[in-house]
Structure 1
Amino acid sequence: MPHALQHAVSRLRTARLARSSKPFLARGGPRGERCAGCRLLPSHCLCALRPVLPTRAGVCLIMADIEPLKPSNTGWLIADVVADTFAFGWARTAVEPELLALLADPQWQPYLVFPGEFVAPERVVTDLLPASPPDGQLAKRPLFVLLDATWPEARKMFRKSPYLNALPVLSLQSEQLSRYRLRRSQRETHFCTSEVAALCLELAGEPLAAQTLEAYLDVFTTHYLQAKQQQPVDSEDAVHRRLRGLGSAADAAANETPAQP
């Protein structure tokens, strides 16, 4: 099975489909017409363009009920790019033990990413906490906890998830406007989930991963919209060239060897 089919969001989607009493019919094509690896029409498949690069940071997606089923969901893109992506379905009355274990894992420093204007000020941070491990121990890796949902759903999830109350809330301060064109929030300052993850990676000191995720979103959006409009994809346009360039930079960084003394 291709690696792209094994990531956390794909597994959550499979589990959610197994619980459904009727098939989920996505817009944009007849049932069964989408690629299992990227959720696009086979004629516009993205799988061969999936970027691969290491990241120290991790992402934990807590997803509203049908988010894993939506072809336009961008949490899937995060799981494509960031190897340590975890995905859990949200329910008001229960929490998965695996999620609690992840949040308590000593290798991670979790941050709940949410607008600070809706949070008690004492919980809000705008930068990563300083890492000060005891002697002989490694610094904790940042784990960005994202509520993957519409904005009304995300606010409900935030209020009704007491197991998140002890986490510091990372409030992003970026002034850029969202470039996501597949679903529109009522507020231009609201980002889609993969844009939020890219901002978090930048904050964590991983600019190449952040830029790659941004470029991958642009390519995904182009493929999605071209498929919707029944138009071919130009693999030599600016968004594809940018993604390839970042992939080359990632390959070069991975192949670098330390200089000999």
Structure 2
Amino acid sequence: MLLLSDNEILKPSNTGRLIADTVKQTFVFKWHRTEPDPQMLTLLQDANFQPMVVFPDEYVDDKTRLVELREHQFGEKTPLLIFIDGSWREAKRIFRRSEYLQGLPVVSITPQRLSQYMMRKASKDNHLSTAEVACAVIEDLGDKFASTTLSLWFEVFKESYLLSKTRLKTDIELREQAILRYQNHVEMTVKNEK
């Protein structure tokens, strides 16, 4: 589930939408503190799902809320990963001021590498884009295929976005290579399914 800040919805550099492009069951809601979307609240209460907020542990005051994905038992429930999509300042505000998120478990990741997201500057070197965080969390859940698909789609998006800003010949080649890697991944998947 993506919880979008007002400012993030129309930004061309937004990576949260890439999750919706590649993950079949994705829910997208605009954040509102005092008037949350009723469908979102219903989804958070759905007995078929185990909602969990994905957010850095350094901003979690109650450390008992932190869970490890590999250790967390879902039983019959499907994990519902909640990604807050906005600038770091907006995301922190959404995390702290949303009563409907306060009792939920929190999943935090430790990035294995620095962000490849070059469209905006993060406030800290270890902060990743929404799509990069989703790749890591989805892989931790054991879905390597979905993580790889999202990662390759992110690479195509990044190279295309940067190309629109620079128009250098080398950037065209980088975008072409990113597109080719994504196409090969998709073609291999289709081939294996037959």
Q: TM-score, normalised by structure 1?
A: 0.68
1:121 is the counterpart of 2:60: no
Gap runs ≥5 in structure 1: 1-59, 133-138, 256-261
- Relative to structure 1, the CA distance from residue 236 to residue 228 in structure 2 (aligned partners, 3 Å threshold; closer, same or farther) is closer
Output one character per residue of 1:128-159: Cα deviation in whole Å (capped at 9) or x when no partner. Answer: 52133xxxxxx221111011011111111111
1:70 is the counterpart of 2:7: no
1:112 is the counterpart of 2:53: yes
Measure how far apart 1:253 and its partner are.
3.8
Matched residue type, 1:248: E
- Provide the C-alpha distance between the structure 1 equivalents of 2:189 and 2:52, rounded to a whole number of angstroms: 26
- Provide the C-alpha distance between the structure 2 equivalents of 1:122 and 1:236, rounded to a whole number of angstroms: 43
Matched residue type, 1:245: N
Secondary structure class of the residue paired with 2:9: helix
Gap runs ≥5 in structure 2: none
Measure how far apart 1:173 and its partner are.
2.4
Matched residue type, 1:141: T
Matched residue type, 2:86: A
Q: Name the count of aligned residue pairs.
A: 190
- Provide the C-alpha distance between the structure 2 equivalents of 1:191 and 1:235, rounded to a whole number of angstroms: 21
Secondary structure class of the residue paired with 1:78: helix
Q: Is the 8 A contact 1:114 1:170 kept in 2?
A: yes
Output one character per residue of 1:192-241: Cα deviation in whole Å (capped at 9) or x when no partner. Answer: 01111111110111111101111111111111111222356348843223
Match of 1:130 among 73, 88, 94: 73
Percent identity, please: 37
Q: Is the 8 A contact 1:61 1:148 kept in 2?
A: yes
Q: Is the 8 A contact 1:215 1:242 kept in 2?
A: yes
1:201 is the counterpart of 2:138: yes
- Relative to structure 1, the CA distance from residue 252 to residue 157 in structure 2 (aligned partners, 3 Å threshold; closer, same or farther) is same
- Provide the C-alpha distance between the structure 2 equivalents of 1:217 and 1:140, rounded to a whole number of angstroms: 28
Q: Who wins on radius of gyration, i.e. which is larger?
A: 1
Matched residue type, 2:142: G
Measure how far apart 1:66 and its partner are.
2.0
Q: Is the 8 A contact 1:126 1:173 kept in 2?
A: no
Secondary structure class of the residue paired with 2:2: strand
1:192 is the counterpart of 2:129: yes
Matched residue type, 1:104: Q
Measure how far apart 1:89 and its partner are.
1.0
Output one character per residue of 1:87-137: Cα deviation in whole Å (capped at 9) or x when no partner. Answer: 1111222211111011111221111001112211110012252133xxxxx
Superposed CA RMSD: 1.7
- Provide the C-alpha distance between the structure 2 equivalents of 1:197 and 1:236, rounded to a whole number of angstroms: 22
Alignment of 1:102-251 (within 5 A): 102-119=43-60, 120-128=62-70, 129-132=72-75, 139-231=76-168, 233-234=172-173, 237-251=176-190
1:89 is the counterpart of 2:33: no
Matched residue type, 2:74: A
Secondary structure class of the residue paired with 1:85: coil
